[in-house]
Structures are given as C-alpha cells and as structure tokens.
Structure 1
Amino acid sequence: MPAARHEDSLAAAKAEARKSAAKVRAAAHKELGGLAGEALAQTGLEFLAHTGPAVVSGFYPYKSEIDLLGLLRRLSGEGRTTCLPIVLKAGQPLLFKAWAPGEATEPGAWDIPIPVASAQTVEPDIMLVPLLSFDRAGYRLGYGGGFYDRTIEMFRGNKQLTAVGVAYAAQEVEEVVRGKHDQPLDWVLTETGPIKMTKA
C-alpha cells in the first residue's frame, strides 16, 4: 500500500477508535467519577512511593479524563515537585512548569488551566499521561495532536523518563491502533492499581 494511502487509512482507523473510546471513558467517568479519583490518589501514592525526589508531571483533568488532582495534591504535600504541561504550538513538544493544586493558573490551549507564566520551568522524570484507550503492550490512543508522543520521544533521547498512562480500568483494549511515531508507555495507572506494560 502506498505510504500516503496507508497514512490516510491509519488516520481514519484512529478517528473511529477515538469515537468509541471516548464513549467508554465517558461511561466510566459517569459511573465512578470522584470515587475513581480518590482511589487513584491512593494507588498512585503507593506506586510512586519509592521514586525519591523525581519530578512528576500530571495534567489538569479535561472532559471525562480521570481526576488525578488528588494524587498531585498528596505528592505535593509530601514535598514532591509536581508540574503541568503547556502546549506551545502545533508540532512542538510540551513545556512543563511547576504547579501544585491550590496554586494560581491561567487558561491554556482549549481553556485547560495551566501554571502562570512566572512559574518555574522544570523537566519531569515521571510523566503522567492522559489517554482515550490503552493496551498491555504500552500503546495509548491519544487525541491526535501528537504532543505527548513528541515529548516522550524527546525526553527519552536525553534522559531517563518513566511514562505512565493514567486512565479508568475500563479504558483498556486488546490492541490500540498505532502508527510508527507512537511512543509506548512504561506503566498505566488506574483506579484499581498500576499495570506494567509488556512492550511488544
């Protein structure tokens, strides 16, 4: 199959998979809501307990994403440095600035809250990544912008990075539709606990 046709076919398959995955995530969010966030805070704290002073990046929950602000709050309360991603522009990796729940924010891309401009720029050692679906090989279905894939690839080329997907357990699928630029996760953290990826 010609490369252009293959890319078109892949894009169409991913678009269809996103629609289906969004419905599954929305249903899980409606059913579990805040309870999942509370459970995630506990399982996440236990999972990250032995990672020392590692800088942890999270994300401000958008739409039906699982709420990990409770986890970030508990990590910050233990003296850990936490941060949020900032979209600079299309085609570029994400920038990260230090932030903890309760600190000031301003509207970012898609009106998602981000740290204020004066916040310190940091580099995460552990990246908590949002997703629509995931499989046990470590692949995630994102939103199509490629921001996290570019960012993970960049950091892995320069330092040791642990990429951890964060999701409802119901978001697991047998196999994610993926392309050559998609970066695998090391772990996925759900409200029921962490899952080690097999790296197919």
Structure 2
Amino acid sequence: MTDETKLNEKKKMRAQALERRKSAFDRHGCEASRKIAAHGLDFLATTPSAIVSGFAAINDEINPAPLMTWLQAEGFRLALPVMEGKGKPLVMRTWTPGDAMKTAAWGIAEPLDDKPAVDPDIVLVPLLAFDARGYRLGYGGGFYDRTLQRLRKLKPVVAVGLAYDELKVDAVPAESYDERLDWVLTPSGPVHCLDS
C-alpha cells in the first residue's frame, strides 16, 4: 500500500474518529481527565527529575491538566508545545500550572516566548485514534511525528498518547514517517504498545 493510499485512508478514518471522540467526551466528560490523573505515570517507572511535556487540550480532547498538576506536585518538570510553523517540529517550553499563556493557531494555549525551550523525556500526545502497535491518528499536520523524530535522535524519549478507551482501532494506516507511541494512557489504565 502506497503512502498516498494510506493518506486517503487516514482522511476517512479521521472523520469517523472525530465523531467517536466527541461521543466519548459527551459520555465521560471531565471524569476521563480525573481518571487519567489518578493513574499517573507510575507505570513508566521514571524519576521526578524527568521533564514531561503535556499539551493544552482543545475541543473534546482529554485534558491533561489534572495529570500535569499532579506531576508537578510529585516534582516533575513540565513543558508545553509551541508551534513554530508548518512543516516544523514543535518547540517544548517550560510551563507551570497558572503561567500566563498566549493563544496560537486553532485556539491552542501556548507558553510565552520568554519560557526556555527544553527537550522532554516524556511526551504526552493528543490523538483521534490509536492501535496496539502504537500508531496514532492525529489531525494530519505531522507536528508530533516531526517532534518525536527530532527528540529520539537526541536521547531516549517515551511517547504516551492520551485517549478515551473508545478510540482504539484495529489498525491505523501507518506512513513511512509516522512515529509510534510507546504507551497509551486511557481512563481504564495504561496500554503498552506492542512491536509488530
């Protein structure tokens, strides 16, 4: 299957996934974020000195803010992504709950430009769908794929998708440049992505 065919399949799947995620959000609401926070990141067996990059949720994404607040209390250093332009990886800037933010494209809240850029050890990733192999369906901009590719050239980085359980699918059409998730954290618990 060519990358062009996979791209077309992704477009079809994206429309279905947006509907599924909206239904999941309507069903679970803020409770999903609370359950994600309750699980924490203990399953990674990491130390609080690690830098965790989250994201500012938009629309019906699971909101990682309660998890990030908990991680800060545990001593983790936090960051949020900043878009530098189409076709470029995200820049992760330090962030603390309560920081002043700016509004960027699509209404996404980002840290101010005076916050230092960091290379996180753990990247929390939003998604529309995921499969057992760790492939995810995003919005189609490739920002997280480029970011994970850049970071993984520098050091070991763990990518953790945040998703409603209902967003798991049999297979996400994977293109040659797609970066895989290591884990997906759902309200029912962490799912380790398998090599296959």
Q: Structure 1 length normalisation: TM-score?
A: 0.93
Q: Is the Cα–Cα contact under 8 Å of residues 128 and 165 in structure 1 kept in the other structure?
A: yes
- Distance of 1:191 and 1:100 partners within structure 2: 24
| Aligned mate of 1:8, from 4, 12, 15 | 4
* Structure 2 contact 58–107 (Cα < 8 Å) conserved: no
Q: In the alignment, which of 91, 113, 120 is matched to residue 116 of structure 2?
A: 120
SS of the equivalent of 1:20 reads helix
* Distance 1:45-1:159 versus aligned 2 partners, 3 A rule: closer
Question: What does residue 168 of structure 1 align with?
Answer: 164
Q: Secondary structure at the match of 2:184?
A: strand
| Contact persistence 1:83–1:122 (CA under 8 A) | yes
What's 2:88 paired with? 92
Contact 2:48 2:74 in 1 (8 A): no
Tell me how far apart the structure 1 counterparts of residues 26 and 35 of structure 2 sit (CA, whole Å).
15
| 2:76 partner amino acid | R
Amino acid across the alignment from 1:147? F
Return closer, same or farther for 1:44/1:24 CA change in 2, 3 Å cut-off. Answer: same
Instruction: Give, in whole Å, the separation in 2 of the partners of 1:127 and 1:45.
Output: 11
After TM superposition, the structure 1 = structure 2 runs for residues 1-200 of structure 1, keeping only pairs within 5 Å, are 6-47=2-43, 50-200=46-196
Q: After the TM superposition, which segments of 4 or more aligned residues of structure 1 sit over 4 Å from their partners?
A: none
Structure 1 gap segments, 5+ residues each: none
Percent identity between the aligned chains?
42
Instruction: Tell me the amino acid that sits aligned with residue 26 of structure 2.
Output: K
Give the Å deviation of 1:46: 3.5
Structure 2, gaps ≥5 residues long? none
- Deviation string 1:41-64 (CA, Å, 9 cap, x unpaired) is 011243356433110000001111
Query: RMSD of the alignment, in Å?
Result: 1.4
For the residue of structure 2 that corresponds to 1:61, the secondary structure is coil
Q: How many residues align?
A: 196
Contact 1:44 1:193 in 2 (8 A): no
CA deviation digits over 1:100-120, x for unaligned, max 9? 221111112212100111112
TM normalised by structure 2 equals 0.95
> In the alignment, residue 184 of structure 1 is paired with which amino acid?
R
- 2:66 and 2:45 map into 1 onto residues whose CA distance is 15
Whole-angstrom distance in 1 between the partners of 2:4 and 2:191 = 32
